[in-house]
Amino acid sequence: MTTARLDRGGLWMAAGSFVIWGLMPLYWHLLKTVPSLQIVMHRIVWSALLVVGGLCLTQGLHWLRKAVAQPRVAWMLALSGVLIAFNWGLYIWAVNAGHVVETSLGYFINPLLNVVLGVLLLRERLSLAQWLAVAVAAAGVLWLTFNYGSFPWIALSLAASFGFYGFIRKLAVVDSIPGLAIESLYLFLPAVAALAWVEMNGNGGFVGSWGWQVDALLVFGGALTAVPLIGFSYAVRRVPYSVIGFMQYIAPTLQLLIGVLVFGEVFDRARAIGFGFIWVGLLIFAVDGVWRSRRRPACLPVAEGLE
């Protein structure tokens, strides 16, 4: 009998990624004068130049040949690239349109989807307490869905796109940074073409009417895009997907606090009840994890890897 030990590096990478994502609304709000689609195109271009350029300088093209030599990796990364680009676009639009609280709902729903994918498709197993945590959190999501006032299409679209992105990246046998680089290469030329078209038609403002501060924020957004995605891609291949699912509550909690306390969005009694159920589910999951780790016999052999 073996007991898998959680990869501490993977856990720290996941936690850091979720904190950065949780604080992202503050950053994108600084760019609210820029059309959301153009922000996404800039994210793609600058993150691609950063990641692909860094790999080519340090490894030449060896990383590309190694990655695409793996079965199915090329088309899987093409699909994951499309999913993450859609997720970025919808998220940035929602933040700057005043829907930060609904985006946080989407990322509260997303971990539940990850747990379902982990159990149904990756054959991960949950304890009775973990199933209870999922049920309580699901009750909160259902409450929010039926008491939100309108169909939460933003939340559900964000949850689905990022959930399947993470699932594909877990299955794709490729290191985190080369994987992100290949995703970026698929999106790079369309993004450059789109930016060139809007600039030529007078609808852009890069190196022009927006000012150097906005230009700098757009460029630095490439780094903010790359760093958490690299960390997340590293983590999902080393930590059980069900654990990743519940760790993702870090990001929407921060987003919710920013939406309510910084941007003044509505957070009424009905929403408080729904979010309360979700937080109780997370608490049950965390307590169960601590209890199980403490009662684990020290003499049991430990598996060094989770893949």
The residue ranges of the chain whose pLDDT is under 70 are: 1-6, 148-150, 241-242, 245-246, 289-290, 292-307
The domain tally of the chain equals 1
Range of the domain at 154: 3-302
**Does residue 307 fall inside a structural domain?**
no
pLDDT at 194: 92
pLDDT at 217: 92
| Residue 138 and residue 277 in contact, taking contact as beta carbons nearer than 8 Å | no
pLDDT at 252: 87
| Residue 173 and residue 73 in contact, taking contact as beta carbons nearer than 8 Å | yes
Answering whether pTM is above 0.95, one says no
Helix axis angle, 73-96 relative to 8-29, nearest 10°? Answer: 40
End-to-end CA distance of the chain: 17
State the Cα–Cα distance between residues 135 and 112, nearest whole angstrom. 9
**Does residue 282 fall inside a structural domain?**
yes
